[in-house]
Structure 1
Amino acid sequence: MTAFLNRARGGLFAVLLFLTSFLGAIFILVPFFPFIFIRPTIWRHCADKLVGYWLTFPAALCEFLFGIKFHITGDPIVFAEPALIIMNHRTRLDWLFFWNALYKIDPWLLTTEKISLKASLKLIPGAGWAMGCDSFMFLHRNWEMDKRNIEKMIAYYKDIGQNYQLLLFPEGTDRGTRSVDISRSFAEKNNLPFYDYLLHPRTTGFTFLLKHMRQKNYAMNIYDVTVGYPDEIVANEVDLISTGVTPRNVHFDIRKVAISEVPEDDDGAAKWLSKLWSDKEGILRKFYSKPPADRAFTPSGIGAKWPVETTGWGRYAAFAFWILTTTMWAVFIYQFFAVKVYTIACIALYIGIHRRYGGVELPVKMGEPDDGPPPTVLDRVRGLTFTVVLFMSSLLGTIYILIPLFPLVVLSPKWWRKIVDRLIGFWLTLPPSLISFLFGAKFRVTGDPVLSNEPALIIMNHRTRLDWLFFWNALYKIDPLLLTTEKISLKAILRLIPGAGWAMGANSFLFLDRLWEKDEKRLEDMIDYYANVGAQYQILLFPEGTDKCHRATARCRAFAEKKGLQQYEYIMHPKTTGFVYLLQKMRKVNYIKYVYDVTVAFPDRMVQSETDIMLKGACPKTVHFDIRRLDVDRLPESDEGLAKWLIALWKDKEDILREYYEKPLEERQLQPSGEGIVWPIEDSVGERAGLLFAFSFWLLTTLMWIWFLWTVGGMRWYFILSCCVYALLYRVYGGVEWFAVSEWKRANPIHPTCAEDHKKI
């Protein structure tokens, strides 16, 4: 009978915890989700208090349902001060029982304690979601990933303005049979003493966490907690639920250590922790050497002893609240179809957040700025003006300026290339003028100048889909001629855009399909064309392959997790194949002298895509570019070496951007690379005059062409015929650029024609 009652208690405990956490996460937490983005501080305040109040419920169940007695001695934990709590990890239930200790000391501690847990626990419906909302620190047991998570979460705790006490188990796992065997093997291998009551602590995570908390000035004390079970040890939650057996008594002793007493260097801190664990082994040996009835810790610190019997009505109120509200929510779900739909939608929302962000705890804080305030009517007018001017000028320019030059493709491919480069380069001055005059954006450019008379490869992190657009402003600031010599690697679909796509094709941009069997041929033929047509180009490549949107970031996170790679917060892992092939091909034809490493950052506003700037009129106030020029001869010669070089470069870029975005807005600046040049953020009189001239020219000529289209019938037929020509060139050759490449190869028979290849591609 006793065994049956115990199992019933265990089952009831599991059901109550699941239902209250599951329905609470849906009906209490989800309605506050908008504050994650609108007012993160309000979200943090509400989530802490709500989840903290739920934590009172399992604490109440431990006492009401199982009758567990908690013996707390030592120093009180102060909830108003950030701190690190370290505890031996005897069972997988230590953190559950510790909530009772915190409640006894000060119930507010349930709203400020954060726990370091296995990442898999956040997948538990209900409880896992709630712990994510409460911004617990989830670790993957992959050091590169965990290091980033630790940095990110401590920065979040600090920046959000809350004082938390972070519970860490330095042993890394509970003292199960397998863990004991591993710890003993480790001790034997490293000539360390065998522990009977502990596992040897893992010092790497502890020292890194402590060091980072010190750097952020986010820890005043360390609380050394020792947990002991005098009568019954229940190893895990499965045993508790299946048997209903729990310890009758749990002892916690707490000792406060000022952080100044712990050595600041990693080696010293590691030795301090090892010494602490050795002392803790002695404390536990003394504890367990006594008869069960006499087992108790000698109080540490100020020697406080909290009453074993918990007083006050708080537990009863929490117990009643969660039972009644859970019952009410269950009835609503059963009776109302709309509530069923809402529940399913919330479940999908939690799953979607995990897939996109990695968990509820992760999107609540990014060092990067958000996408800015909602657009005003004036913003939308600006966006519409920007769109119309660019579209009409590019469309009519490709028809009335480029089409008449098409005979040069056949008669003189080199003259075609020279003239078109300059004409389109002149049009490329229009977008910078609009961004400057219409939106008032400023550009801070630092580092090394890009040389327009030397062939080069430019590589840049791809934060938004507008990076290449904003980079034209940077190039104009460095040297306006760069707008005539820069070529960009873009998605192939962009060349289908009437006007702008046709112009980019005529300008021989590199359009890629993201299918290597097709792109390899395109890269080879286009580099041959560049190298032999008599021009010196700088090719812009985004090694990440796509912009860092939410979807791409989620894919990158999944890839990094699968491969055991470092999780990046501000960049994505680069794709080395295309970069290596392109660089080696440029080397092969002697068409590269420098590689320019460009870092782009947005200090105040993140405008992710062209639809944001066109439809909403959204534009960052400031964009920062830092450029570092590298001699290609100093790069590795082998493919493998280049791939490793790029990966290392991107890792450094992540560190640069992390340092950048962790600064206050007004202090965000990229440190100048190379020559350390800092171009004036304000346009000079000459620069503004050039932008104004380009703006006036393209606006007036576009208006003139529109008037001709409206008034002259022959111009309309010419317009239609020209559109058909572009469509035909795409159909026959694969685009204007491949028409030019084909004719150049025809004029230079040593190069076999590839027009048919690209038609098929």
Structure 2
Amino acid sequence: MEVCGPPSSNNGSKHRPLTPFRFIRGLICLVVFLSTAFMFLVYFGPVVSVMLRVFSIHYSRKATSFLFALWLSLWPFLFEKINETKVVFSGETVPAKERVLLIANHRTEVDWMYLWDLALRKGCLGCIKYILKSSLMKLPILGWGFHILEFISVERKWEVDEPIMRKMLSTFTDPRDPLWLAVFPEGTDFTEQKCKKSQKFAAENGFPILKNVLLPKTKGFCACLEALRGSFDAVYDVTIAYKNQCPFFLDNVFGVDPSEVHIHVRRIPVEEIPASESEASAWLMETFQLKDQLLSDFVARGHFPHQGTEGELSTLKGLVNFIVVIALTGIFTFVTFFSSKWFKIYIGLAGAYLASATYFNVQLVPLLSFVKAMLDCKKTKK
């Protein structure tokens, strides 16, 4: 068995065949997700990112977390209830609603989506934020959502990314704001070719040779830890493995893969992680060595240790959430096309704002903070 086989494993076959039923159901799911995302963004996005934010970042984030958690909940419902993917949690049972830095291995393009299954169970779905490559911000509609949810986009060039990251991280220091900041220290998804390149670099530079993960890049992790150490409760070390083949985005949409997702969680109190950058970097390297061994054990045994730390999602709650999202989308669609022309104008303006704010990465500053900054600037000039 493999932690996550390449596309050619199992003769390229999927866990379930792509039948006409699954194909049609997948297209319906995709239309539902995109239409609900669009309506939620254009009707709620300007409210939470402009109208509320000019008065309070804290209350803007609370509203964003609540409203968009409704939409994000559709994905775990798809994975676990519609596609019937078995999600197995193991390791430690972590408390609800902590402020954490979450580090995970990166097996495939949809790892980050399965973190929503854990965040939903801990009441933190709407406050999970990712550090992700900037090209994903250009995705139609979804890129707007990433901006509203304040994901941090990077070019994967530290000299370019460092000032952007530190500026964004400085806005996340309020301990009243719930926060799950998710980082994939490998910087890219795992492939055999990338693994060989990583192993060659490790051998040439005296780093450990890893088989199931790539060498972690430490600078982004250390920057997050330095900026937010005072407000974090813990670091969650999350290890993800799949049986028997890595899923891709469309596999999830059409429900053909994966059969099982295994998620191992280890909680480390933030005070146990070294403060200096060199020691924190060494700690991260050791953590990925443990992660590599954990994945090797998974290959041998077929599971992580200490399974069953989280229960199943409630089907009833999932259905109620789905009905609420569909009902709101239906109302928004009706007033857009069959009501006053002012709703059409609002949609146009909201879309223009979201597109431009995402493209230029604009996050508004509360009015009082802006006035205070202007007064401080004048005092400095005097």
Within-5 A mapping of 1:362-381? 372=15, 375-381=18-24
Instruction: Kindly provide the amino acid, as one letter, of the partner of residue 746 in structure 1.
Output: F
Query: What corresponds to 2:62 in structure 1?
Result: 418
Check if 1:720 corresponds to 2:363: no
Within-5 A mapping of 1:161-180? none
Query: What corresponds to 1:620 in structure 2?
Result: 258
Secondary structure, aligned partner of 1:749: helix
CA distance in 2, matches of 1:560, 1:644: 14
Query: What corresponds to 2:218 in structure 1?
Result: 576
CA distance in 1, matches of 2:256, 2:245: 9
Relative distance call for 1:453 and 1:700 in structure 2 (3 A) is closer
Secondary structure, aligned partner of 2:243: coil
How far is 1:699 from its partner? Answer: 2.0
How far is 1:550 from its partner? Answer: 5.1
Aligned equivalent of 1:679, options 286, 293, 310? 310
Check if 1:746 corresponds to 2:373: no
Check if 1:702 corresponds to 2:323: no
CA distance in 2, matches of 1:639, 1:487: 23
Instruction: Kindly provide the amino acid, as one letter, of the partner of residue 236 in structure 2.
Output: Y
Residues 375-396 of structure 1: CA deviation (Å, up to 9, x unaligned)? 2223322332232121111111
Contact 2:137/2:153 (8 A) holds in 1: yes
CA distance in 2, matches of 1:739, 1:527: 13
Instruction: Kindly provide the amino acid, as one letter, of the partner of residue 292 in structure 2.
Output: E
Residues 529-562 of structure 1: CA deviation (Å, up to 9, x unaligned)? 1113831312111111111145544543453454
Query: What corresponds to 1:475 in structure 2?
Result: 119
Query: What corresponds to 1:289 in structure 2?
Result: none
CA distance in 2, matches of 1:611, 1:748: 48
How far is 1:522 from its partner? Answer: 2.3
Instruction: Kindly provide the amino acid, as one letter, of the partner of residue 530 in structure 1.
Output: F
Structure 1 segments unaligned to the other structure (5+ residues): 1-154, 157-361, 754-761
Check if 1:643 corresponds to 2:281: yes
Secondary structure, aligned partner of 2:266: strand
CA distance in 2, matches of 1:498, 1:451: 35
Contact 1:424/1:484 (8 A) holds in 2: yes
Contact 2:172/2:228 (8 A) holds in 1: no
Contact 1:384/1:617 (8 A) holds in 2: no
Instruction: Kindly provide the amino acid, as one letter, of the partner of residue 370 in structure 2.
Output: R
Secondary structure, aligned partner of 1:440: coil
Secondary structure, aligned partner of 1:411: coil
CA distance in 2, matches of 1:650, 1:415: 37
* Bigger radius of gyration among the two: 1
Instruction: Kindly provide the amino acid, as one letter, of the partner of residue 237 in structure 2.
Output: D
Contact 1:425/1:483 (8 A) holds in 2: yes
Structure 2 segments unaligned to the other structure (5+ residues): 378-382
CA distance in 2, matches of 1:408, 1:536: 17
Relative distance call for 1:752 and 1:555 in structure 2 (3 A) is farther
CA distance in 2, matches of 1:744, 1:447: 45
Check if 1:633 corresponds to 2:266: no
Secondary structure, aligned partner of 2:304: coil
CA distance in 2, matches of 1:370, 1:547: 21
Query: What corresponds to 2:45 in structure 1?
Result: 402
Relative distance call for 1:612 and 1:726 in structure 2 (3 A) is same
CA distance in 2, matches of 1:529, 1:376: 47
Within-5 A mapping of 1:45-194? none
Number of residues of Structure 1 aligned to a counterpart in Structure 2: 372
Residues 234-261 of structure 1: CA deviation (Å, up to 9, x unaligned)? xxxxxxxxxxxxxxxxxxxxxxxxxxxx
Instruction: Kindly provide the amino acid, as one letter, of the partner of residue 134 in structure 2.
Output: A
Query: What corresponds to 1:662 in structure 2?
Result: 300
Query: What corresponds to 2:127 in structure 1?
Result: 485
CA distance in 2, matches of 1:510, 1:378: 38
Contact 1:396/1:702 (8 A) holds in 2: yes
How far is 1:706 from its partner? Answer: 3.0
Instruction: Kindly provide the amino acid, as one letter, of the partner of residue 295 in structure 2.
Output: L
Residues 290-323 of structure 1: CA deviation (Å, up to 9, x unaligned)? xxxxxxxxxxxxxxxxxxxxxxxxxxxxxxxxxx
How far is 1:565 from its partner? Answer: 4.6
Residues 336-356 of structure 1: CA deviation (Å, up to 9, x unaligned)? xxxxxxxxxxxxxxxxxxxxx
Query: What corresponds to 1:441 in structure 2?
Result: 85
Instruction: Kindly provide the amino acid, as one letter, of the partner of residue 263 in structure 2.
Output: F
Within-5 A mapping of 1:217-366? none
Aligned equivalent of 1:528, options 170, 176, 179? 170
Secondary structure, aligned partner of 1:618: coil
Within-5 A mapping of 1:506-585? 506-532=148-174, 534-549=176-191, 552-553=194-195, 555-560=197-202, 562-563=204-205, 565-585=207-227
Relative distance call for 1:451 and 1:520 in structure 2 (3 A) is farther
Instruction: Kindly provide the amino acid, as one letter, of the partner of residue 613 in structure 1.
Output: N
CA distance in 2, matches of 1:363, 1:434: 24
Relative distance call for 1:565 and 1:364 in structure 2 (3 A) is farther
CA distance in 1, matches of 2:371, 2:115: 35
How far is 1:434 from its partner? Answer: 1.9
Contact 1:382/1:439 (8 A) holds in 2: no
Instruction: Kindly provide the amino acid, as one letter, of the partner of residue 304 in structure 2.
Output: L
Aligned equivalent of 1:594, options 225, 234, 237? 234
Residues 161-204 of structure 1: CA deviation (Å, up to 9, x unaligned)? xxxxxxxxxxxxxxxxxxxxxxxxxxxxxxxxxxxxxxxxxxxx
How far is 1:671 from its partner? Answer: 0.7
